[in-house]
Chain A
Amino acid sequence: MSHLPSQKLDPFAALLSYLLPGLGQIYQGRRSKGVLFMVSLHVLFFYGMWLGNFRNVYLPHTDTRQNVVFTSTILADVENRLHFAGQFFIGVAAWPALIQYASDPKVDKHPILGTWQRAPRPDELNALQRNGDKRWDLGWVYTVIAGVLNILVIYDALAGPAVRDATSELERKAVAT
């Protein structure tokens, strides 16, 4: 291991992998791994959304007066729905929730996105949680796991795999040259 040259950090690839899981790896020439990340994490994220009737990824406007850490700005609402802190890291797939958060909370639908990733009304939320067989809860867990796994993927794009394998690195360099 010690004979391998030190790994250069690649923040641009990390940014790409944040936007779309695996895109940074594809940019670096590690295409098959990139496609694996892109397909797997999106499957897990949207499978989780499907389990929750596509109503479990959102950032609501909440009462932040009793918050412990953040009391103002968007972070206060994230503190009150920590699920979104994990879901956010799936990248662009969770951005509609931010657009919905920024739009007028008094109307029921966004003019373009409709109710996609919009915070459900309290009665709707109660019905989803009460009438299901816990699939709604299992669903948000899946979406959070997908987002958190993408943090590992972003790190892989930034600094390479955790265990560096001399053979595969030399093969990749030979293909590149």
Chain B
Amino acid sequence: MTPILAASIYWHLPVLLVVVSLVYSATRHDSWPAIRREAVRWGWRMTSFLGGIALVMYLLSLYL
């Protein structure tokens, strides 16, 4: 593991993603299968959004 990965504050993000997905989904539904489905959906959405931003910034840092 490179030092930059070892020291990154982004390692703390999974906690936030899991909690936000689960809690938000549980406030939308009462049944566990629906909560799980919604949580996975939101988890993916947020991860893709953040990953997309990270990718754009990485590409910008390569070419600017």
A residues neighboring B (CB under 8 Å): 30, 32-33, 36-37, 40-41, 43-44, 47, 51, 133-135, 138, 142, 145-146, 149, 152-153, 155-156, 160-165, 167-169, 172
Contacts and interface: CB of A to CB of B under 8 A. Distances in A.
Contacts of A43: 15, 19
Contact of B27 (A133, A161, A164): A161
A89 to B, nearest CB: 13
Given A40-B23, A44-B19, A32 B32 contact: yes
B37 to A, nearest CB: 12
Interface residues of B, number: 19
Contacts of A156: 26-27
A149 B29 CA distance: 15
16 contacts: A36-B23, A37-B26, A43-B15, A44-B15, A47-B12, A47-B15, A142-B15, A142-B16, A145-B16, A149-B20, A152-B27, A156-B27, A161-B28, A161-B30, A162-B28, A167-B31
B55 interface: no
Which secondary structure characterizes the binding site on chain B?
helix
A164 B29 CA distance: 7
B28 A163 contact: yes
Contact of B30 (A40, A146, A165): A165
B38 to A, nearest CB: 9
B30 A134 contact: no
Contacts of A163: 28-29, 34
B20 to A, nearest CB: 7
A162 B20 CA distance: 16
Nearest to B34: A165
Contacts of B28: 161-163
Contact of A135 (B9, B20, B26, B32): B9
Contacts of B35: 33
Interface string B1-35: 00000010100100110011011101111111011
10 closest cross-chain pairs (CB), A and B: A168-B31, A168-B30, A152-B27, A156-B27, A44-B19, A162-B28, A40-B19, A149-B23, A161-B30, A165-B31
A37 B7 CA distance: 30
